[in-house]
Amino acid sequence: MKRKRKEEGGGGGGGASEEGEVVWQTPLNPPERQDYIFREGRRYVAPYHFEFISHVKSRWAGKTIVDLFAHEFKGRPYEYYVSAVECGRIQVGGRVVPVSYIVKSSEKISHFVHRHEPPVTSHGVSILQKEPDVVTVCKLASIPVHPCGQYHKNTVVGILQAEHGLAPLFPVHRLDCLVSGLLLVILRKRIEGGLVQKQYIAMVVGEFPENELEVNVNINYDAREGRSTAEAGDPTCDTALLKEKAACTKFTRISTNGTHSIILCEPVTGRTHQIRVHLQFSGYPIANDMLYLLEQRTNRSAEGVVADKAAGLSSESSVSDIGQNDKEEEPCIEFSTDPVCTNCPNLAPKGYDGSEEGLWLHCVRYSGPGWVYEFPYPDWASLA
């Protein structure tokens, strides 16, 4: 669905269908092949006008419209939100309101933005096997599975839809943005939850125990911080009162050189960052997971961690080369700019430095009643 809306004081470049009239996309608009720009080994999305829609939560009610945005969405300065409300880029119930407007619970809020998505690797999403209901793909690090946060079109689901015409798509489960490996995407919801088993491999710091290690530790995800914490909850406490969720992961050592270990990870539950947090809690964090290495519980093989960082290895370059042909570099393509946008004239959003490294955590196997999908180990899984 695309909406046309007359812009006060002029339109803002490309996205305009008529003078002063901008076409606003919504989540219902499917990604298209021409939406992407390829530069220096990265896949960008040409900035586009987009309508974010939300409804006032109970904890938001009673705040002014400007204070609400400034407090809940801190990616832009306060002055931007004042200007956005005044010029109608932020509306309540489809109407322009004053900056002093007090929002009420359940009211519809629209934020019309010039959307810039972070870039991802330029390698395509390789289809390993395609069946009538299931598509098996190789997910590379840096590509989110589905729309979330700043990502809408630069996702596995979006790229499959734009380049292969596959829709609607339902990922069997989510791999973190920086995790690579096997991913199952279904064309209809036929796989029952709880019947799918997953296996990952990881490279961790230290000499992992020889016997299987099972970690039963609750996990609490903080959406504001973008990280999880492991909480050893009181077993006598009512779990319904706890913020954290029950989580269980089984780990088995495959090999070790005394400094690092390659381990098999089998999550019994599926919490955000579960494997990463349970490994950190156990004292064997993933060797290049800088988000959780900073709070490592032991000083186990600190020299090895430094060596990892210096090596600068990335799972993007170490995963099997199946179908990973770079897209052709496109000549200097112009894209629309917007006078209200805080990201223009940059192609990527501000605050993105492009330095994120793929984690040494890789999904290698899915299985269920009567079916199995497997994927080769990446190069970093060898400690030779």
Biggest distance spanned by C-alpha atoms of the chain:
69
Q: What is the reported pLDDT for 244? A: 77
CB 287 within 8 A of CB 304: yes
Q: What is the reported pLDDT for 219? A: 94
- The dihedral of CA 228, 232, 235, 238: what is its sign? negative
CB 366 within 8 A of CB 196: yes
Q: What is the reported pLDDT for 231? A: 81
Q: What is the reported pLDDT for 71? A: 93
* Distance separating alpha carbons of residues 333 and 127, to the nearest angstrom: 28
Q: What is the reported pLDDT for 7? A: 57
Considering 35, 133, 176, 308, which one is annotated as catalytic? Answer: 176
| Torsion region of 235: left, alpha or beta (phi above 0 gives left; psi -120 to 50 gives alpha) | alpha
Residue 138: C-alpha distances to residues 185, 262, 326, 368, 377 (Å): 11, 21, 15, 19, 12
Q: What is the reported pLDDT for 327? A: 56
Contacts of 51 (CB under 8 A, 6+ apart): 3, 24, 25, 26, 110, 111, 112
The single residue listed with the structure tokens 């390789």 is 126
Q: What is the reported pLDDT for 304? A: 37
CB 295 within 8 A of CB 283: no
383: how many CB neighbours lie within 10 A of its CB? 14
Check if 238 is active-site: no
DSSP per-residue codes, 27-88: TTSPP-GGGEEEETTEEEE--EEEEEEEE--TTTTTSBHHHHHHHH-TTS-HHHHHHHHHTT
Q: What is the reported pLDDT for 26? A: 86
This prediction has a pTM of 0.76
Q: What is the reported pLDDT for 133? A: 85
| pLDDT tens, the chain, 384 aa long | 556 555 554 333 334 444 457 788 988 888 999 999 999 899 999 999 999 999 999 999 999 999 999 999 888 999 999 999 999 999 999 999 999 999 999 999 999 999 999 999 998 899 999 988 889 999 999 999 999 888 999 999 999 999 999 988 988 888 999 999 999 998 766 555 567 889 999 999 999 999 999 999 999 988 777 889 988 765 455 544 456 789 999 999 999 999 999 999 999 998 989 999 999 999 999 999 998 986 554 443 333 333 333 223 333 434 444 444 455 555 556 677 898 899 999 999 987 766 667 899 999 999 888 889 998 999 999 886
